[in-house]
Structure 1
């Protein structure tokens, strides 16, 4: 499965990550007809540089807005302010839905800034990511 994402959404995720530094940013990605066309910024309740916890009320509100706008949930995203875009041990341990795509945004210069993964019982599989106009 390839994650197709519009360039403005990709740029908005990177901007969100930079605004939240030194802490991790987090949110949802939503798609229309298989293309990620919207991001929903959520609050990292932990306000920490190495992990995140989404606000449950914001999660429910984002899912409602997606449904109201005819969008489908496509992925969970979060930033890594100081490490590459790959799942940390904690990311792998806390990934509880094998059907969810996890998109990681790295703010480290010189690294691949955005990568996507599926995580199932500790097994990490990278998903192709295609940026579309």
Structure 2
């Protein structure tokens, strides 16, 4: 199960909507060895495509170095689908290289509907998992 704070959920959804019609992408980092998504990192889709995302290699290296320096891991790797449901494509499955990560997809095909789903992708096998959104938009610490 992915347990994610409302403020991070809102940032992921906002990023997906803002970058539409192109796919949005990014990560949420957490303490190494944990399963706690704590630090939202919006990234640029170097492909600038409505059907494909690709982390910019320079930005990816910077983010990876930050994770290393801060003793963090990739807890969530997210991107959006602009014309299809929030389900991993064959390409998404092929490029999934972090078995410990939650792969979050947000579909922006319907402007008034939020389709936010999370998956584990291990050795090409996709398993959807429940998402628990914690906190509320009105919490003072957000």
Distance 1:94 1:28, change over 3 A: same
Shift of 1:68: 4.8
List per-residue Cα deviations over 1:93-131 (Å, max 9, x = no partner): 222333332111111337662111112233111122111
List per-residue Cα deviations over 1:31-87 (Å, max 9, x = no partner): 256332221111111110111110122122223334555543202110111211111
Q: How does 1:1-133 map to 2 (within 5 A)?
A: 2-32=1-31, 34-69=35-70, 71-109=72-110, 113-133=115-135
The residue matched to 2:37 in structure 1 has which SS?
strand
User: Looking at CA atoms only, which structure, 1 or 2, has the larger radius of gyration?
Assistant: 2
Distance 1:38 1:17, change over 3 A: same
RMSD: 2.1
TM-score of the superposed pair, with normalisation by structure 1:
0.85
Between Structure 1 and Structure 2, how many residues are aligned?
132
TM-score of the superposed pair, with normalisation by structure 2:
0.80
Structure 1: tracts of 5 or more residues without a match: none
Structure 2: tracts of 5 or more residues without a match: 136-142
